[in-house]
Each structure stands twice: as structure tokens, then as C-alpha cells.
Amino acid sequence: MFLTTLPILFGFTHLISPLELSLFLLALLAAVFLITPTIDNDNIVDPYSSFYLYLHAAWLGRMSLWRVFWPFFILINIIFVYIDYRIANNTYTIASWKTVHGMVFLPIVWWTVAIWRCSAHAAAKYWGNAARVISLYLAIELILRFIISTQFPHLLFNCEMLLLEYGDC
């Protein structure tokens, strides 16, 4: 997360400064720390019989936090690195990039809700805080990517190579 968006925003735009973003992210961390519940390791279910039961138990907040957090966190970062790699090699257009972000939007919503509900089943309260803050940081990452694709596409995409998508630049 933030491997592509922050260097572009700090280096080529005046949208937000590093100090302002740091203060905002620290304030978000403090707010999440204040509202995170205490640890409650009752009602934990480990559904291994099907993928549907895994998704359902995670949505309801009946799983341990690490089983919900790590698989999706690794997957979404692999997806972001892959699409940014494709952009660096000029094989993705703006429309392709937006399509991939549209496809991962609903899974990110599911993951954020599951993280917030399962954070009560963390090994320690600070792990629940960290997972919640990272899920919010992922939402901020998506917003920054949307801003880059709509307001500053020439900074990330080679508009001279995009003959069909030249109107987007």
C-alpha cells in the first residue's frame, strides 16, 4: 500500500504535504485506539468445511482476527503491485486500471467490515487496533488511486501510448 500513490502525490502535486498526511494518519490511529473494544475470545468459529462458511463467519465476526486479516491483506497487495507493474510497462490503460479497482472494491468493503467485527478476537488489543487502522489506510489508498486516475492521469500513465484512451488524459 502507498508504494505508488504517495510518491506521485508528494512529488508532483500540492494536494497534501507529508506532514499533513502524517498528522491525519496519526489522528486516525488515535481515534481507532479509543473506540476499539476489549478482547473477547468467545464465539470463535473455525469453519474449514467450505469457503462460503469462511466468508460468512468472517462477516459475522466469529473468527480469529489473523485468519481474516492476513490472507486478504497479502492478496490485495499482490493485486496492487501487479497492476502497478503493468502500468509501469505500459500494458494497462486507464480504463483497465479503473476496472481492476472496481473489481476489488466490494471485497475491500467485506474485508473492512470483517476486520472491524473480528478485531475483538485478536490476541491483544493493539493487534485489533493495527488491523482496523490498516483497513482504513487501504480505503485511503483507494481514494488516492481514484484521485490520481481522475485528476492526474498523465503522472501515472503514458498518455502518448494510449491511442484509444487519449480522452482520459
Residue 166 scores a pLDDT above 60: no
Tens of pLDDT, residue by residue over 3-28, are: 778 888 788 778 788 899 889 989 98
Mean pLDDT of the chain: 82
Mean pLDDT over residues 150-168, rounded? 66
Task: Supply the pLDDT for residue 125.
Answer: 84
Mean pLDDT over residues 48-68, rounded? 85
Q: If you search the block for the grid coordinates 476489488, which residue do you land on? A: 104
Residue 110 scores a pLDDT above 90: yes
Higher-confidence residue of 111 and 3: namely: 111
Q: Cβ distance 153 to 169 under 8 Å? A: yes
Mean pLDDT over residues 99-119, rounded? 91
Confidence tier at 155 by pLDDT (50, 70, 90)? confident
| Spatial CA neighbour of 43 closest among 57, 28, 33 | 57
Residue 160 scores a pLDDT above 80: no
Residue 41 scores a pLDDT above 70: no
Cell digits for 17? 504535504
The DSSP letter of residue 18 is H
Tens of pLDDT, residue by residue over 120-148, are: 888 888 888 899 999 999 988 898 888 88
Confidence tier at 40 by pLDDT (50, 70, 90)? low
- 17 sits in the region (left: phi over 0; alpha: psi -120 to 50; else beta) called beta
Residue 37 scores a pLDDT above 60: yes
Task: Supply the pLDDT for residue 167.
Answer: 56
What CA–CA distance (Å, rounded) separates 120 from 139? 21
